[in-house]
Amino acid sequence: MRNELITLKTKRDFSAALKKLMITQPLTTITVRQLLALTDKSRPTFYYHFADLEALIKWTVQDEVLSILEQTPTYANWDDDIYRLLQYFDANQSLGHAFYASLDLVQLNQVFREPLTQIVMKYITAVIADNQLRVRQADQDFIARLFTGGFVGILFDWLADDQQEAPKIIREKLRRTQNDIIVYALKNASY
């Protein structure tokens, strides 16, 4: 357990250094040497934890974003969770741009789609319990993939468009068009 905490602290130190550098310079000019200077760690330590800067970006987003989404695994707060995620990227625009630009579609999906699907499954489980529904696992999986895919697509489009739309506007659009959609889908799928 102690080694896991040390590893997590080390990764977060590199992550914080990267975010600090990205405030003043583009990712393409950031070097591992700069990260080492800010963290007072060795080059082997960096490469023990990360293959390259892209791996650090991927880990940073996963660590910070997923911790945001895992705070409230209840369906009642789904729009708040999404809003916090959008606010995170709005507050860390350089990281969002670098993240989107440096990863391919497969990597983007690994970072977002798989973990988000797990979180949506928690929402689904809560809705099923609250409404005393009986829904086949295959239907639950399909609804989770559908909802996650839609949101991930919106997020990727927003990042690609330089985050032109305010998070609050996206939240309102999602709330207006998607409110209770998972509940509705699960009730329809219930047997």
- What pLDDT is stored for residue 69 in this prediction? 73
- What pLDDT is stored for residue 73 in this prediction? 59
Q: For 79-106, what is each residue's pLDDT tens digit?
A: 788 888 899 889 888 878 877 777 777 7
Q: For 125-135, what is each residue's pLDDT tens digit?
A: 988 999 999 99
- What pLDDT is stored for residue 75 in this prediction? 63
pLDDT mean over 164-171: 93
The Cβ-side half-sphere exposure at 89, using a 13 Å CA radius, reads: 31
The answer to whether the beta carbons of residues 139 and 189 sit under 8 Å apart is yes
- What pLDDT is stored for residue 57 in this prediction? 86
State the sign of the Cα–Cα–Cα–Cα dihedral 30, 32, 37, 38: positive
Query: In Å, how far from its chain's centre is CA 182?
Result: 20
Q: For 39-83, what is each residue's pLDDT tens digit?
A: 999 999 999 999 999 889 888 888 887 787 777 656 667 778 888
- Identify which of 126, 124, 130 has the alpha carbon closest to the alpha carbon of residue 143: 124
- Tell the burial category of 48 from Cβ atoms under 10 Å away from its Cβ (0-12, 13-18, 19+): exposed
- What pLDDT is stored for residue 74 in this prediction? 65
Q: Which two tokens stand for residue 120?
A: 């949506």
- What pLDDT is stored for residue 67 in this prediction? 80
CA separation for the pair 149, 131 (Å, rounded): 24
